[in-house]
Amino acid sequence: MEYWLLLLAFYLSVLTYYLGALIYSLPIPWRGLKRWGPVLIYDGAASALLVFSFTLIVLGVQHFYTVLGGSWDYFYTWVEDRIATLISYQMLISMISSVASGLPGFASIWWALNPLLSMVSYAIMALTTTLSLGLVVQRYYVRLLALGVALYAVPFRMARSAGAGLMAFSIVFYLGLPLLPVFVDTMGQPVQAYPGIGEAASIGVAFVEGLVTARDGTPIAYGQLRVYLEGSPVAAYPTDASGRFDAGAPDKGLPSKREFNVMLEYAGLELWLSPNPVVPDRDYEPSTAPDANYHLELRANDIASCPQPLAPVALTSPYTLLSSNITHSGNRVEVDLELDVREAGQLVISVPSWLQASISIDGTPASGVAQTWSWRGVGGTVYRFDIGPGGHTIRASYMVVDEPGLPDLETAPYLESLTGTGSLASIIEEVSRLVFTWIVLPSTYLFILTLVTYSLASSLGGRGRIPIPWVG
Amino acid sequence: MGDLLAFIQEMTTRIVAIAWALFLLSWSVGWMLKGVPVPFPKLKRTGQDLIEDAVWAAFWLAIGGTIFALISYLVSNVSLPMPAPPTP
């Protein structure tokens, strides 16, 4: 094909040359028309020179390509890596969007997700276009160059601009496009690609609210929940004064496609919550909360009752709770429990520092082994009593003697560990940075290449004015 | 594709023939105007111009093949040879 185009260009240059000679020999004394003669003779010779220099030009371009240090392979790898990363971002945002779309408050986060999704789509489109451009230039630049020469040789400069432009385009882009990664990496900020994002779709995310209770249904207030996925901590949420926790939209969440375990850290105790493991399909229930689609009930089976915040009554051995009765009177709280303990173990009663407690087991005041604890900025005493199998009655009386303290609880959103990018705001920031680096900078570079192409085309005669006889 | 090349080649041949004919015509007309027995210097000057143009045209026509051969020769000294120039 290239050979044919060059042959065509050469034939056209010969034709142009003889057309010039013909116009020269016209017996018409019209200066304006006669001017075409030398112009066409010159054009014919110049086009022929280009045709015969074609191999030289190609060799020169190859030489400069080597000298400049560009690499098409690296260019393709670079672009494909970025497209893959952007696709994973797109998957993540789509997933969050689809999960959150069922929420009543979805409109409030859609403002952030929709433009984000568009930006990522545009970035993918821009990089795909660049990739396609690279493929065309690398594979067809010789053919484009030959076509440019052929157009350049068309008589009367009819396609001279197009030919010069095509030649300049093929040369400049063949040399310049492989250097795009170097330009972007030098001018832009480093963008971190998070490998975990790709797994997001397989693990899934669900926006959940829930309640943590003791065996008798009393809320576990001000506890620290830790969520483990395949043994690794993936999230942490606190419970409030009524034992509720919030893993809702837009940036918290819990796994939706894999089972996980929840541990309760409470007044110096650590215990697994039931169900253990949590199976999302089985244990999630529909929720009417504005920022969650699911409700999850968790129970601390080892805690028989929690009559006051941070004052759990727990057992280390299996038991059955027969009855539980809590009475409040002024600043006093009393809890009466009837238990059927199946194995010998320990009764553990934790008393925070702002409470005073008196404990009796089976009607007998008990003192047990006291041990002080300090946990997340609050402290207290934990009493341990050996307890044998069989039925037991436990009575604990608490009196509030000081202002209650609040533990310093933490929130570690599940989405943060899933994506590695932190909150939704972090994702927006990351995507913005990514769009700047992967859209704005490549576009700038392509613009620069276009300007260079234009200049080179002008140098090759692309802007040459067509001498019109009657204008002079 | 071959038809296009053949067409251009044929057209080039015709143009060369026409150009030679026009050269003869211009040269004749030029001499005729130059020798016309009327005292109009502008007319004689036009005749002179036609003769000059005709001679230049004949020159470029005559060395056309040589020019392309020369370009081919010069470039082939610094590069690989490209298709041989067809004779019009």
- In sequence order, which residues have a C-beta less than 8 Å from that of residue A130 and are 6 or more positions away? A79, A177, A180, A442, A446
pLDDT above 70 for A125: yes
Q: How confident is the model at residue B78 (pLDDT cuts 50, 70, 90)?
A: low
Q: What is the mean pLDDT of residues B6-16?
A: 87
pLDDT at residue A471, as a whole number: 38
pLDDT at residue A147, as a whole number: 92
pLDDT above 70 for A427: no
Give the gap in angstroms from C-alpha A25 to the nearest C-alpha of chain B: 5
Question: How many C-beta neighbours within 10 Å does residue A285 have?
Answer: 11
**In DSSP terms, which residues pair with A303 in a beta bridge?**
A314
Nearest to A284 by CA among A247, A253, A256, A250: A256
pLDDT above 80 for A418: no
CA distance A224 to A240: 10
CA distance A24 to B36: 23
Average pLDDT of chain B? 80
Pairing state of beta strands A208-214 and A294-300? parallel
Q: How far is CA A248 from the centre of its chain?
A: 19
Q: How confident is the model at residue A191 (pLDDT cuts 50, 70, 90)?
A: low
DSSP assignment of A174-224 equals HHHGGGHHHHHHHHSPP----GGGGGHHHH--B-EEEEEEETTS-B-TT-E
Give the gap in angstroms from C-alpha A156 to the nearest C-alpha of chain B: 15
Contact B19 A34 (CB under 8 A): no
| A201-419 homologous superfamily | Carboxypeptidase-like, regulatory domain (2.60.40.1120)
Residues of chain B with Cβ-Cβ distance to A62 below 8 Å are: none
Residues of chain A with Cβ-Cβ distance to B73 below 8 Å are: none
Nearest to A261 by CA among A227, A223, A284, A295: A227
Residues of chain A with Cβ-Cβ distance to B22 below 8 Å are: 22, 25-27
Contact A17 B18 (CB under 8 A): no
Q: How confident is the model at residue B2 (pLDDT cuts 50, 70, 90)?
A: low
Contact B4 A8 (CB under 8 A): yes
Q: What kind and span of H or E run contains A86?
A: helix A72-100
Give the gap in angstroms from C-alpha B38 to the nearest C-alpha of chain A: 19
**Domain residue ranges in chain B:** 2-78
Q: What kind and span of H or E run contains A246?
A: strand A244-247
Among B11, B20, B75, which would you mutate to test the A interface (most chain A Cβ atoms within 10 Å of its Cβ)?
B75
Backbone region of residue A362 per phi and psi (left: phi > 0; alpha: psi in -120 to 50; beta: other values): left
pLDDT at residue A174, as a whole number: 92
ipTM higher than the 0.90 cut: no
Contact B71 A52 (CB under 8 A): yes
pLDDT at residue A448, as a whole number: 92
**Domain residue ranges in chain A:** 2-194+421-459, 201-419
Residues of chain B with Cβ-Cβ distance to A59 below 8 Å are: 79
CA distance A387 to A132: 76
Give the gap in angstroms from C-alpha A59 to the nearest C-alpha of chain B: 9
* Stronger pLDDT, A415 or A105, i.e. the higher one: A415
CA distance A245 to A222: 10
Average pLDDT of chain A? 80
Answer for the pair A236, A411: CB distance below 8 angstroms, yes or no: yes
Q: What is the mean pLDDT of residues A232-239?
A: 84
3-state secondary structure of A465: coil
Q: DSSP assignment, residue A376?
A: T
Please report, rounded to a whole number, the percentage of residues in chain A having pLDDT higher than 70. 88
Give the gap in angstroms from C-alpha A186 to the nearest C-alpha of chain B: 37
pLDDT above 50 for A452: yes
Q: How confident is the model at residue A465 (pLDDT cuts 50, 70, 90)?
A: very low
Q: What is the mean pLDDT of residues A390-412?
A: 81
Q: How confident is the model at residue A135 (pLDDT cuts 50, 70, 90)?
A: very high
Q: How far is CA A338 from the centre of its chain?
A: 53
Contact B56 A3 (CB under 8 A): no
pLDDT at residue A462, as a whole number: 56
